[in-house]
Structures are given as structure tokens and as C-alpha cells.
Amino acid sequence: MSSQTEATFLKLVNQHKGILYKASRIYADSTEDREDLQQEILIQLWKSFQTFKGDSEFSTWMYRVAINTAITYLKKEKKRTQNQTDAPEHFEVQSEDYNPAKDKQLEIFYNAVQKLNPLEKAVIFYFMEGMSHKEIGSNLGLSEGNARVKLNRTKEKIQQIIKKTGYEF
């Protein structure tokens, strides 16, 4: 692909880098894994960019590639699950890149999300990004009703996880 295409691509990705950051926060729990995942998403975005016809918004397309890449990044997923089994039930809020200025609630939320399965992570990610049930369903390939049910179950699950660890807000 030409250098102009490359420049356009990098500019668009830069404008929507929040998607990259948040998807990696949801799907990876260490700084190293997050950087790896961001890298993978960027690679897949670039590889798929030739198929992007502009029929939909760039952000819509980017959401799908980011989540589909994160879900299928299976090796890291397994590693993380293994670590989880050994991890203590109580969250360590001050994670390695914890910044005291950051809100504690969000940090607790991110920690709880690590206990979800890949599909639940996608559901909660789209919800946090402000998408409707219809949009969540459309991105995941589910009906609006199924998306609603899955979102409610995921929210409940997060609440239960947080409660179990002794936090409540």
C-alpha cells in the first residue's frame, strides 16, 4: 500500500486511539500484555485496511477489528486465565501501572473485568463505549434481545465479583 494510504491510516488510528487503549485494558491485565495486544490490533487493522471501503464509519470498523483480534488472541487469554487461578481473591488495586490520581473505582472495575470470559468482555466494552443494545448486538452478531440479556448478566457478574472482593460502590 502507498505511503499516502499509510499516512491516512495512521492519522485515523490516532484519532481513535481510545478504542485501542480501552480494548487492551479490558482484554489484558498487565502492561506488557496490553502493549502486545495494542500491537496485534494495529497489525490486524493495517492488514484489513485494504478491505475498508468506507461504507461504515472508521470507528465502527475499528471497534470490530479490535474486539475480534482481542477475542482471538487466545494464547495470552489462556496465560491470563492460568494466572487468575493462582491469584488471591482480593483485588490488588494498586496494579503495576496504578496512578493514585486515577479513579479507584475504575481500577476496581478493570480488575473485575479480568475475571469475565472473552464474550462478556466484549459486551461490557461496547456498553462502556456508550453503545445501545442494538449496536452491541450488531457488532457481535447477536439479536438485540440476546445482547440485552448478555449485558444484564455481565453487569450482574461484575457486581458480584466486586462484592466478593470486599468493595462496593
Partner 1 sequence: MNFDQLKEQWNNEESNVHIPDTIEQLKESKHPIERIRKSMKKEFPAQILAVILIAFFPLQFKFPSSQYVIYYTSYVMMAVISCYYLFGFYQFYKQTGIYTGNTKNSLWKIYHELRLNMERYQSFGFLLLPHFLITIGLVIYNTLEEKGKSLSGLSEGYQQALILAVLIGTLGLVTSIVLWTKYVYGRNAKQLEKILDDMDE
Binding interface with partner 1 (CB under 8 A) = 6, 9-10, 13-14, 17-18, 20-22, 24, 36, 38-40, 42-44, 46-48, 50-52, 61, 64-65, 67-69, 71-75, 77-78, 102-103, 105-106, 109, 117-119, 122, 127-128, 130, 138-142, 155, 158-159, 162, 168-169
Q: Which three cell numbers stand for residue 20?
A: 485501542
Q: Which three cell numbers stand for residue 61?
A: 470498523
- Choose between 12 and 87: whose C-beta lies nearer to partner 1: 12
- Choose between 46 and 87: whose C-beta lies nearer to partner 1: 46
CB of 167 to partner 1, least distance (A): 9
**Distances from the Cα of 83 to the Cα of 29, 79, 87, angstroms:** 10, 6, 6
Measured CA to CA, the distance from residue 133 to residue 4 in angstroms comes to: 37
CB of 82 to partner 1, least distance (A): 13
- Upper half-sphere CA count for residue 165 (Cβ side, 13 Å): 21
Please name the amino acid found at residue 167. Answer: Y
Cβ contact 20:38 at 8 Å: yes
CB of 88 to partner 1, least distance (A): 22
- Choose between 61 and 91: whose C-beta lies nearer to partner 1: 61
